[in-house]
Homo-oligomer: A and B are copies of this chain.
Amino acid sequence: MLRALETVVGPGHVVTDPDILAGRAVDYTGRYRGRAGALVRPGSAEEVAAVLRVCRDAGAHVTVQGGRTSLVAGTVPEHDDVLLSTERLRALGDVDTLERRVQAGAGATLAAVQHAGAAAGLVFGVDLAARDTATVGGMASTNAGGLRTVRYGNMGEQVLGLQVALPDGSLLRRHSLVRSDNTGYDLPALFVGAEGTLGVITALDLRLHPTPSHRVTAVCGFADLEALVAAGRMFRDVDGIAALELIDGRAGALIRQHLGVAVPVDGDWMLLVELAADHDQSDRLADLLDGVQLCGEPAVGVDVAARQRLWQVRESLAEVLGSYGPPLKFDVSLPLSAIAGFARDAVALLGTHAPDALPLLFGHVGEGNLHLNVLRCPVEREQAVYGPMMELIAGCGGNVSSEHGVGSRKRPYLGMSREPADIAAMRAVKAALDPTGYLNAAVLFV
Protein backbone atom coordinates (compact mmCIF):
# COMPACT_ATOMS: atom_id res chain seq x y z
CA MET A 1 0.00 0.00 0.00
CA LEU A 2 2.79 2.45 0.84
CA ARG A 3 4.24 1.98 -2.62
CA ALA A 4 0.85 2.62 -4.21
CA LEU A 5 0.47 5.76 -2.11
CA GLU A 6 3.93 6.93 -3.19
CA THR A 7 2.87 6.46 -6.78
CA VAL A 8 -0.08 8.75 -6.17
CA VAL A 9 1.54 11.57 -4.21
CA GLY A 10 5.25 11.12 -4.81
CA PRO A 11 7.74 9.47 -2.41
CA GLY A 12 8.42 12.72 -0.54
CA HIS A 13 4.84 12.92 0.60
CA VAL A 14 4.46 9.52 2.23
CA VAL A 15 6.00 9.73 5.70
CA THR A 16 6.63 6.75 7.94
CA ASP A 17 9.16 8.25 10.37
CA PRO A 18 7.95 7.02 13.81
CA ASP A 19 8.71 10.32 15.54
CA ILE A 20 6.71 12.31 13.05
CA LEU A 21 3.86 9.82 13.21
CA ALA A 22 3.86 9.91 17.00
CA GLY A 23 3.61 13.70 16.90
CA ARG A 24 0.66 13.43 14.54
CA ALA A 25 -1.13 10.77 16.56
CA VAL A 26 -1.65 12.93 19.62
CA ASP A 27 -4.30 15.59 20.01
CA TYR A 28 -3.90 19.32 20.53
CA THR A 29 -4.39 19.17 24.28
CA GLY A 30 -1.93 16.31 24.67
CA ARG A 31 -4.55 14.27 26.50
CA TYR A 32 -5.43 11.74 23.81
CA ARG A 33 -3.05 9.57 21.81
CA GLY A 34 -3.56 7.04 19.01
CA ARG A 35 -1.52 5.08 16.47
CA ALA A 36 -0.73 5.96 12.86
CA GLY A 37 0.84 3.81 10.14
CA ALA A 38 1.73 6.52 7.65
CA LEU A 39 1.23 10.18 6.86
CA VAL A 40 0.21 11.08 3.30
CA ARG A 41 0.17 14.60 1.92
CA PRO A 42 -1.73 14.76 -1.36
CA GLY A 43 -1.23 17.85 -3.48
CA SER A 44 -4.56 17.99 -5.29
CA ALA A 45 -8.17 16.92 -4.99
CA GLU A 46 -7.51 14.19 -7.53
CA GLU A 47 -4.66 12.89 -5.41
CA VAL A 48 -6.90 12.90 -2.34
CA ALA A 49 -9.45 10.79 -4.22
CA ALA A 50 -6.73 8.42 -5.41
CA VAL A 51 -5.32 8.07 -1.87
CA LEU A 52 -8.79 7.13 -0.65
CA ARG A 53 -9.14 4.48 -3.34
CA VAL A 54 -5.77 2.94 -2.47
CA CYS A 55 -6.55 2.86 1.25
CA ARG A 56 -10.05 1.49 0.80
CA ASP A 57 -8.81 -1.25 -1.51
CA ALA A 58 -6.05 -2.12 0.96
CA GLY A 59 -8.48 -2.25 3.87
CA ALA A 60 -6.67 0.55 5.69
CA HIS A 61 -8.35 3.12 7.91
CA VAL A 62 -7.93 6.78 7.04
CA THR A 63 -7.98 9.70 9.45
CA VAL A 64 -8.11 13.17 7.95
CA GLN A 65 -5.98 15.90 9.48
CA GLY A 66 -6.17 19.65 8.91
CA GLY A 67 -4.67 22.02 11.47
CA ARG A 68 -5.23 19.43 14.24
CA THR A 69 -6.70 21.99 16.63
CA SER A 70 -9.63 19.76 17.55
CA LEU A 71 -10.51 19.94 21.22
CA VAL A 72 -12.47 16.67 21.19
CA ALA A 73 -9.72 14.45 19.78
CA GLY A 74 -11.23 14.68 16.31
CA THR A 75 -8.01 13.76 14.49
CA VAL A 76 -6.59 11.02 16.70
CA PRO A 77 -6.24 7.74 14.76
CA GLU A 78 -7.20 4.46 16.39
CA HIS A 79 -6.32 1.73 13.87
CA ASP A 80 -2.74 2.34 12.67
CA ASP A 81 -4.46 4.66 10.25
CA VAL A 82 -3.15 6.37 7.19
CA LEU A 83 -3.18 10.04 8.15
CA LEU A 84 -4.39 12.09 5.21
CA SER A 85 -3.19 15.66 5.68
CA THR A 86 -4.70 18.55 3.74
CA GLU A 87 -1.67 20.76 4.41
CA ARG A 88 -0.67 21.02 0.73
CA LEU A 89 -4.19 22.02 -0.38
CA ARG A 90 -3.88 25.64 0.65
CA ALA A 91 -4.36 27.55 -2.59
CA LEU A 92 -6.54 30.64 -2.42
CA GLY A 93 -8.40 31.91 -5.45
CA ASP A 94 -9.02 35.55 -6.32
CA VAL A 95 -11.69 37.23 -4.25
CA ASP A 96 -14.88 37.84 -6.24
CA THR A 97 -16.01 41.16 -4.82
CA LEU A 98 -19.25 41.20 -6.84
CA GLU A 99 -20.56 37.90 -5.47
CA ARG A 100 -18.48 38.36 -2.26
CA ARG A 101 -16.81 34.96 -2.26
CA VAL A 102 -13.43 33.30 -2.40
CA GLN A 103 -12.37 29.78 -3.24
CA ALA A 104 -9.99 28.21 -0.74
CA GLY A 105 -8.19 24.91 -0.53
CA ALA A 106 -9.17 22.86 2.49
CA GLY A 107 -5.69 23.28 3.97
CA ALA A 108 -5.73 27.08 3.88
CA THR A 109 -5.62 28.49 7.38
CA LEU A 110 -8.39 30.66 8.73
CA ALA A 111 -5.90 33.53 8.96
CA ALA A 112 -5.01 33.18 5.27
CA VAL A 113 -8.69 33.44 4.29
CA GLN A 114 -9.21 36.37 6.64
CA HIS A 115 -6.24 38.19 5.10
CA ALA A 116 -7.40 37.51 1.54
CA GLY A 117 -10.83 38.90 2.39
CA ALA A 118 -9.41 41.95 4.14
CA ALA A 119 -7.13 42.71 1.19
CA ALA A 120 -10.27 42.93 -0.97
CA GLY A 121 -12.10 45.12 1.56
CA LEU A 122 -14.29 42.28 2.84
CA VAL A 123 -14.48 40.29 6.05
CA PHE A 124 -14.70 36.55 6.62
CA GLY A 125 -17.52 35.65 9.00
CA VAL A 126 -15.73 33.26 11.36
CA ASP A 127 -12.96 34.05 13.79
CA LEU A 128 -11.47 31.93 16.55
CA ALA A 129 -8.34 31.77 18.65
CA ALA A 130 -6.62 29.03 16.61
CA ARG A 131 -6.83 31.15 13.45
CA ASP A 132 -3.17 30.73 12.49
CA THR A 133 -3.35 26.94 12.59
CA ALA A 134 -6.94 25.83 12.05
CA THR A 135 -7.73 25.09 8.41
CA VAL A 136 -10.96 26.05 6.69
CA GLY A 137 -11.45 22.42 5.64
CA GLY A 138 -11.31 21.23 9.22
CA MET A 139 -13.45 24.12 10.38
CA ALA A 140 -16.12 23.24 7.83
CA SER A 141 -15.92 19.56 8.77
CA THR A 142 -16.66 20.47 12.37
CA ASN A 143 -18.95 23.43 11.63
CA ALA A 144 -16.75 25.58 13.83
CA GLY A 145 -18.22 28.60 15.55
CA GLY A 146 -16.21 31.20 17.41
CA LEU A 147 -16.18 34.87 18.23
CA ARG A 148 -18.45 36.12 15.43
CA THR A 149 -21.22 33.51 15.36
CA VAL A 150 -23.68 35.92 16.94
CA ARG A 151 -23.37 38.06 13.81
CA TYR A 152 -22.53 35.78 10.89
CA GLY A 153 -23.39 32.26 12.06
CA ASN A 154 -21.14 29.22 12.17
CA MET A 155 -18.73 27.98 9.51
CA GLY A 156 -21.52 26.19 7.66
CA GLU A 157 -23.23 29.48 6.99
CA GLN A 158 -20.10 30.70 5.19
CA VAL A 159 -19.90 27.68 2.87
CA LEU A 160 -21.39 28.35 -0.57
CA GLY A 161 -19.88 25.34 -2.29
CA LEU A 162 -17.60 22.41 -1.68
CA GLN A 163 -15.37 19.97 -3.44
CA VAL A 164 -15.31 16.63 -1.64
CA ALA A 165 -13.45 13.39 -2.26
CA LEU A 166 -15.97 10.68 -1.43
CA PRO A 167 -15.10 7.37 0.25
CA ASP A 168 -15.58 5.58 -3.09
CA GLY A 169 -12.79 7.68 -4.57
CA SER A 170 -14.99 9.90 -6.72
CA LEU A 171 -14.86 13.68 -6.61
CA LEU A 172 -17.99 15.68 -5.94
CA ARG A 173 -17.99 19.35 -6.94
CA ARG A 174 -20.65 21.78 -5.96
CA HIS A 175 -19.00 25.09 -6.67
CA SER A 176 -21.87 27.06 -8.10
CA LEU A 177 -21.33 30.60 -9.28
CA VAL A 178 -24.53 31.90 -7.77
CA ARG A 179 -25.39 32.85 -4.23
CA SER A 180 -28.80 31.21 -4.28
CA ASP A 181 -28.46 27.47 -4.87
CA ASN A 182 -31.37 25.23 -4.09
CA THR A 183 -31.08 22.49 -6.69
CA GLY A 184 -31.25 19.03 -5.14
CA TYR A 185 -30.19 17.96 -1.67
CA ASP A 186 -28.06 20.38 0.29
CA LEU A 187 -25.07 18.04 0.26
CA PRO A 188 -22.67 20.77 1.37
CA ALA A 189 -24.69 21.04 4.59
CA LEU A 190 -24.35 17.30 5.03
CA PHE A 191 -20.56 17.34 4.74
CA VAL A 192 -20.33 20.40 6.98
CA GLY A 193 -20.25 19.09 10.52
CA ALA A 194 -19.87 15.45 9.45
CA GLU A 195 -16.38 15.49 11.01
CA GLY A 196 -14.83 13.89 7.95
CA THR A 197 -16.86 10.70 8.19
CA LEU A 198 -18.60 11.12 4.82
CA GLY A 199 -15.78 12.43 2.65
CA VAL A 200 -12.70 14.61 2.59
CA ILE A 201 -13.37 18.27 1.87
CA THR A 202 -10.67 19.40 -0.56
CA ALA A 203 -11.81 22.94 -1.44
CA LEU A 204 -14.50 25.41 -0.45
CA ASP A 205 -16.34 28.41 -1.85
CA LEU A 206 -16.56 30.76 1.09
CA ARG A 207 -18.87 33.70 1.58
CA LEU A 208 -17.39 37.07 2.49
CA HIS A 209 -19.19 39.98 4.12
CA PRO A 210 -19.06 43.77 3.80
CA THR A 211 -16.61 45.33 6.23
CA PRO A 212 -18.36 47.49 8.84
CA SER A 213 -16.80 50.94 8.85
CA HIS A 214 -17.44 51.59 12.55
CA ARG A 215 -16.85 49.37 15.55
CA VAL A 216 -17.21 49.97 19.26
CA THR A 217 -16.21 47.49 21.94
CA ALA A 218 -16.98 47.35 25.64
CA VAL A 219 -16.01 45.09 28.52
CA CYS A 220 -18.51 45.18 31.38
CA GLY A 221 -18.48 43.63 34.82
CA PHE A 222 -21.42 41.84 36.43
CA ALA A 223 -21.98 40.78 40.01
CA ASP A 224 -23.79 37.60 39.03
CA LEU A 225 -24.25 35.34 36.06
CA GLU A 226 -28.04 35.79 35.84
CA ALA A 227 -27.59 39.51 35.26
CA LEU A 228 -24.95 38.86 32.60
CA VAL A 229 -27.15 36.37 30.74
CA ALA A 230 -30.05 38.84 30.82
CA ALA A 231 -27.81 41.53 29.32
CA GLY A 232 -26.52 39.02 26.78
CA ARG A 233 -30.04 38.19 25.72
CA MET A 234 -30.79 41.89 25.17
CA PHE A 235 -27.58 42.51 23.19
CA ARG A 236 -28.14 39.35 21.10
CA ASP A 237 -31.20 41.00 19.59
CA VAL A 238 -29.86 44.48 18.82
CA ASP A 239 -28.89 45.56 15.32
CA GLY A 240 -25.18 45.49 14.65
CA ILE A 241 -24.19 43.04 17.38
CA ALA A 242 -20.78 41.72 16.38
CA ALA A 243 -19.48 39.87 19.46
CA LEU A 244 -20.91 38.81 22.79
CA GLU A 245 -18.35 36.98 24.91
CA LEU A 246 -18.79 35.73 28.44
CA ILE A 247 -15.55 35.74 30.44
CA ASP A 248 -15.14 34.27 33.88
CA GLY A 249 -14.00 36.95 36.33
CA ARG A 250 -11.49 34.60 37.91
CA ALA A 251 -9.83 34.29 34.51
CA GLY A 252 -9.48 38.07 34.52
CA ALA A 253 -7.49 37.83 37.74
CA LEU A 254 -5.23 35.13 36.25
CA ILE A 255 -4.65 37.19 33.11
CA ARG A 256 -3.66 40.20 35.21
CA GLN A 257 -1.37 38.08 37.38
CA HIS A 258 0.32 35.92 34.70
CA LEU A 259 0.48 38.20 31.69
CA GLY A 260 0.25 41.68 33.14
CA VAL A 261 -2.63 42.41 30.83
CA ALA A 262 -4.81 45.25 32.09
CA VAL A 263 -8.27 43.93 32.89
CA PRO A 264 -10.29 47.11 33.01
CA VAL A 265 -13.31 46.06 35.04
CA ASP A 266 -14.13 44.16 38.17
CA GLY A 267 -16.97 41.78 38.85
CA ASP A 268 -17.28 38.04 39.12
CA TRP A 269 -18.31 37.90 35.48
CA MET A 270 -17.37 39.95 32.44
CA LEU A 271 -19.12 40.46 29.12
CA LEU A 272 -17.31 41.69 26.02
CA VAL A 273 -19.77 43.39 23.67
CA GLU A 274 -19.02 44.73 20.22
CA LEU A 275 -21.29 46.60 17.83
CA ALA A 276 -20.30 47.07 14.19
CA ALA A 277 -22.09 48.93 11.43
CA ASP A 278 -21.59 51.34 8.57
CA HIS A 279 -22.27 54.28 10.87
CA ASP A 280 -21.10 55.24 14.36
CA GLN A 281 -22.51 53.07 17.15
CA SER A 282 -20.88 54.65 20.23
CA ASP A 283 -23.90 56.59 21.43
CA ARG A 284 -26.16 53.62 20.85
CA LEU A 285 -23.91 51.32 22.86
CA ALA A 286 -23.79 53.87 25.69
CA ASP A 287 -27.58 54.08 25.67
CA LEU A 288 -27.92 50.30 25.73
CA LEU A 289 -25.39 49.95 28.56
CA ASP A 290 -27.29 52.59 30.55
CA GLY A 291 -30.16 50.15 30.86
CA VAL A 292 -28.03 47.32 32.25
CA GLN A 293 -27.19 46.69 35.93
CA LEU A 294 -23.38 46.64 35.78
CA CYS A 295 -20.76 46.18 38.43
CA GLY A 296 -18.78 49.44 38.11
CA GLU A 297 -18.20 51.41 34.94
CA PRO A 298 -17.81 49.61 31.61
CA ALA A 299 -14.55 50.00 29.67
CA VAL A 300 -15.33 51.23 26.17
CA GLY A 301 -13.02 51.39 23.17
CA VAL A 302 -13.60 53.00 19.78
CA ASP A 303 -10.21 53.38 18.13
CA VAL A 304 -8.28 50.30 17.05
CA ALA A 305 -5.72 50.41 19.87
CA ALA A 306 -8.34 50.78 22.58
CA ARG A 307 -10.45 48.01 21.13
CA GLN A 308 -7.45 45.70 20.85
CA ARG A 309 -6.66 46.24 24.52
CA LEU A 310 -10.18 45.11 25.41
CA TRP A 311 -10.01 42.11 23.07
CA GLN A 312 -6.73 41.12 24.70
CA VAL A 313 -8.70 40.06 27.77
CA ARG A 314 -10.49 37.49 25.61
CA GLU A 315 -7.54 36.61 23.41
CA SER A 316 -5.18 35.97 26.34
CA LEU A 317 -7.34 33.20 27.71
CA ALA A 318 -5.78 30.35 25.72
CA GLU A 319 -2.27 31.26 26.86
CA VAL A 320 -3.26 31.55 30.51
CA LEU A 321 -5.19 28.29 30.46
CA GLY A 322 -2.31 26.54 28.73
CA SER A 323 0.11 27.54 31.47
CA TYR A 324 -1.76 25.19 33.82
CA GLY A 325 -1.21 22.19 31.54
CA PRO A 326 -3.79 20.79 29.16
CA PRO A 327 -7.17 21.88 30.49
CA LEU A 328 -10.13 19.57 30.51
CA LYS A 329 -12.59 21.22 28.16
CA PHE A 330 -16.34 20.94 27.92
CA ASP A 331 -17.94 22.64 24.92
CA VAL A 332 -21.70 22.61 25.30
CA SER A 333 -24.76 24.57 24.43
CA LEU A 334 -27.56 25.40 26.81
CA PRO A 335 -30.85 27.24 26.78
CA LEU A 336 -30.16 30.74 28.11
CA SER A 337 -32.48 30.07 31.03
CA ALA A 338 -30.32 27.13 32.14
CA ILE A 339 -26.88 28.76 32.06
CA ALA A 340 -26.68 30.10 35.61
CA GLY A 341 -28.02 26.89 37.14
CA PHE A 342 -25.63 24.79 35.08
CA ALA A 343 -22.67 26.89 36.22
CA ARG A 344 -23.57 26.31 39.89
CA ASP A 345 -24.17 22.58 39.44
CA ALA A 346 -21.01 22.08 37.39
CA VAL A 347 -18.86 23.69 40.09
CA ALA A 348 -20.50 21.48 42.70
CA LEU A 349 -19.92 18.39 40.59
CA LEU A 350 -16.24 19.23 40.15
CA GLY A 351 -15.94 19.93 43.87
CA THR A 352 -17.03 16.36 44.53
CA HIS A 353 -14.88 14.56 41.96
CA ALA A 354 -11.83 16.80 41.56
CA PRO A 355 -11.67 19.14 44.56
CA ASP A 356 -8.39 20.80 43.52
CA ALA A 357 -9.61 21.67 40.04
CA LEU A 358 -10.29 25.24 39.00
CA PRO A 359 -13.31 25.54 36.69
CA LEU A 360 -13.50 28.62 34.44
CA LEU A 361 -16.47 29.43 32.27
CA PHE A 362 -16.35 31.24 28.92
CA GLY A 363 -18.45 31.27 25.90
CA HIS A 364 -20.53 32.81 23.21
CA VAL A 365 -23.53 33.83 25.22
CA GLY A 366 -25.64 34.85 22.23
CA GLU A 367 -25.93 31.23 21.16
CA GLY A 368 -25.86 29.72 24.64
CA ASN A 369 -22.56 28.09 23.64
CA LEU A 370 -20.40 27.68 26.73
CA HIS A 371 -16.86 26.49 27.28
CA LEU A 372 -16.17 25.11 30.69
CA ASN A 373 -12.39 24.87 31.05
CA VAL A 374 -11.22 22.91 34.05
CA LEU A 375 -7.66 23.66 35.14
CA ARG A 376 -5.67 21.40 37.44
CA CYS A 377 -7.92 18.41 36.83
CA PRO A 378 -5.64 15.36 37.02
CA VAL A 379 -5.89 13.11 33.97
CA GLU A 380 -6.79 10.18 36.22
CA ARG A 381 -9.82 12.09 37.54
CA GLU A 382 -11.08 12.93 34.06
CA GLN A 383 -13.19 9.84 33.60
CA ALA A 384 -14.95 10.31 36.93
CA VAL A 385 -15.94 13.83 35.93
CA TYR A 386 -16.74 13.47 32.25
CA GLY A 387 -19.81 11.26 32.24
CA PRO A 388 -21.60 13.03 35.11
CA MET A 389 -20.89 16.38 33.43
CA MET A 390 -22.47 15.14 30.19
CA GLU A 391 -25.49 13.95 32.16
CA LEU A 392 -25.76 17.31 33.87
CA ILE A 393 -25.75 19.09 30.50
CA ALA A 394 -28.36 16.80 29.01
CA GLY A 395 -30.47 17.22 32.13
CA CYS A 396 -30.41 21.00 31.64
CA GLY A 397 -31.84 20.58 28.13
CA GLY A 398 -28.45 21.28 26.59
CA ASN A 399 -26.41 19.57 23.93
CA VAL A 400 -23.36 17.53 24.88
CA SER A 401 -21.38 18.95 21.99
CA SER A 402 -21.49 22.34 20.39
CA GLU A 403 -19.00 24.13 18.16
CA HIS A 404 -16.15 21.67 18.79
CA GLY A 405 -18.16 18.69 17.58
CA VAL A 406 -18.30 15.16 18.94
CA GLY A 407 -14.87 13.90 17.88
CA SER A 408 -13.76 10.69 19.47
CA ARG A 409 -13.94 12.09 23.02
CA LYS A 410 -17.73 12.50 23.10
CA ARG A 411 -18.74 9.45 21.07
CA PRO A 412 -20.04 7.62 24.14
CA TYR A 413 -22.46 10.47 24.84
CA LEU A 414 -23.98 10.96 21.38
CA GLY A 415 -27.11 9.20 22.57
CA MET A 416 -27.70 11.84 25.23
CA SER A 417 -28.40 14.46 22.58
CA ARG A 418 -29.68 12.36 19.68
CA GLU A 419 -32.52 9.84 19.73
CA PRO A 420 -32.12 6.29 18.40
CA ALA A 421 -34.02 6.97 15.15
CA ASP A 422 -31.80 9.98 14.54
CA ILE A 423 -28.60 7.99 15.09
CA ALA A 424 -29.97 5.21 12.89
CA ALA A 425 -30.60 7.70 10.07
CA MET A 426 -27.09 9.10 10.47
CA ARG A 427 -25.64 5.61 10.33
CA ALA A 428 -27.69 4.85 7.21
CA VAL A 429 -26.23 7.92 5.49
CA LYS A 430 -22.75 6.94 6.62
CA ALA A 431 -23.19 3.39 5.32
CA ALA A 432 -24.52 4.70 2.01
CA LEU A 433 -21.40 6.77 1.34
CA ASP A 434 -18.80 4.69 3.21
CA PRO A 435 -20.04 1.09 3.35
CA THR A 436 -16.85 -0.33 4.84
CA GLY A 437 -16.55 2.48 7.37
CA TYR A 438 -12.86 3.09 6.76
CA LEU A 439 -12.95 6.91 6.80
CA ASN A 440 -12.54 8.74 10.14
CA ALA A 441 -13.75 5.65 11.97
CA ALA A 442 -12.67 7.02 15.36
CA VAL A 443 -15.13 9.90 15.51
CA LEU A 444 -18.84 10.49 16.01
CA PHE A 445 -20.14 6.92 16.33
CA VAL A 446 -19.15 4.35 18.93
The interface of chain A, by Cβ under 8 A from chain B, is 98-100, 142-143, 145, 149, 154, 156-157, 166, 170-174, 176-187, 189-190, 192-194, 198, 210, 212, 233, 237-240, 277-279, 284, 333-337, 364, 367-369, 397-403, 405-406, 414, 417-419, 421-426, 428-429, 431-433, 444
Given contacts A172-B425, A426-B187, contact A399 B143 (CB under 8 A): no
A418 near B184 (CB under 8 angstroms)?
yes
Tell me the nearest residue of chain B to A212, going by C-beta. Answer: B239
Residues of B contacting A406 in the complex (Cβ-Cβ under 8 angstroms): 183-184
A170 near B421 (CB under 8 angstroms)?
yes
Complex partner residue of A172 from B193, B233, B279, B419, CB under 8 angstroms: B419
Q: Which 10 A-B residue pairings sit nearest by Cβ, starting from the closest?
A: A189-B189, A432-B432, A180-B367, A180-B333, A177-B397, A210-B237, A178-B333, A180-B369, A428-B432, A170-B421
A185 to chain B, nearest CB (A): 5
A interface secondary structure, majority: loop
Tell me the nearest residue of chain B to A171, going by C-beta. Answer: B421
A423 near B184 (CB under 8 angstroms)?
yes
A53 to chain B, nearest CB (A): 14
Given contacts A166-B421, A172-B422, A186-B189, contact A180 B399 (CB under 8 A): yes
A180 near B145 (CB under 8 angstroms)?
yes
Residues of B contacting A421 in the complex (Cβ-Cβ under 8 angstroms): 166, 170-173
A-B contact list, 26 entries, CB within 8 Å: A98-B233, A142-B182, A143-B182, A154-B182, A171-B421, A172-B419, A172-B425, A173-B419, A173-B421, A176-B399, A176-B417, A178-B335, A180-B333, A180-B364, A180-B367, A180-B368, A182-B193, A183-B402, A183-B405, A184-B193, A184-B406, A184-B414, A186-B190, A212-B239, A239-B278, A428-B432
Taken together as a complex, chains A and B put the C-alpha atoms of A429 and B190 apart, in Å, by 10
Apart from A179-B367, A183-B402: 11 A-B pairs, beta carbons within 8 A? A98-B335, A143-B182, A170-B421, A172-B419, A182-B193, A182-B333, A182-B403, A183-B401, A184-B418, A210-B237, A239-B239
B433 near A178 (CB under 8 angstroms)?
no
Residues of B contacting A238 in the complex (Cβ-Cβ under 8 angstroms): 210, 278
